[in-house]
């Protein structure tokens, strides 16, 4: 899991100068094929706040609002799962990490 955030509250809703490109390197893996899944929470993925504001927001949801939020509360994959080979036990993944966001990368033996 990786995150990109700031303590500068004036940029807490995002600022392109704080977006990053990440190179995530795994080493000493058993040499084999892995399924890679990439999930993210950001402005456009898995964003329960966006759902709440789209429902009209307010102070507190009523029971139907809570139900709608529960249905929407899921961790989205930002791209289709893909298989990668850990050549020599190494696997490197490059991806964008906007600010603010959290990415979860899963490797599963294929």
Name the residue among 63, 109, 60 with its Cα closest to residue 89: 109
The pLDDT confidence band at residue 4, using thresholds 50, 70 and 90, is very high
pLDDT attached to residue 67: 95
The pLDDT confidence band at residue 95, using thresholds 50, 70 and 90, is very high
Burial class (CB in 10 A: 0-12, 13-18, 19+), 68: middle
Per-domain residue ranges of the chain: 2-43+77-109
Burial class (CB in 10 A: 0-12, 13-18, 19+), 103: buried
Give the model confidence (pLDDT) of 38-57 as tens digits.
Answer: 999 999 999 999 999 999 99
Distance CA 71, CA 88 (A): 42
pLDDT attached to residue 101: 96
Distance CA 95, CA 103 (A): 10
Give the model confidence (pLDDT) of 65-79 as tens digits.
Answer: 999 999 999 999 999
pLDDT attached to residue 20: 97
The pLDDT confidence band at residue 27, using thresholds 50, 70 and 90, is very high
DSSP calls for 23-61:
EEEE-S--SSEEEEEEEEESSSSS-HHHHHHHTT--SS-
Hey, is 105 helix, strand or coil? strand
Average pLDDT score over residue span 1-25: 94
Distance CA 83, CA 66 (A): 37
Q: What's the whole-number average pLDDT of the chain?
A: 95
């Amino acid at each position: 899991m990786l995150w990109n955030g700031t303590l500068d509250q004036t940029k807490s809703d995002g600022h392109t100068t704080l977006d990053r490109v990440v190179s995530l390197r795994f080493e000493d893996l058993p040499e084999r094929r892995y399924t890679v899944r990439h999930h993210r929470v950001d402005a456009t993925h898995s964003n329960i706040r966006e759902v709440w504001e789209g429902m009209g927001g307010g102070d507190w949801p009523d029971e139907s609002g809570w139900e709608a939020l529960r249905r929407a509360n899921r961790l989205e994959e930002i791209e289709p799962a893909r298989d990668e080979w850990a050549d020599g036990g190494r696997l490197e993944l490059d991806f964008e990490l906007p600010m603010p966001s959290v990415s979860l990368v899963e490797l599963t033996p294929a």
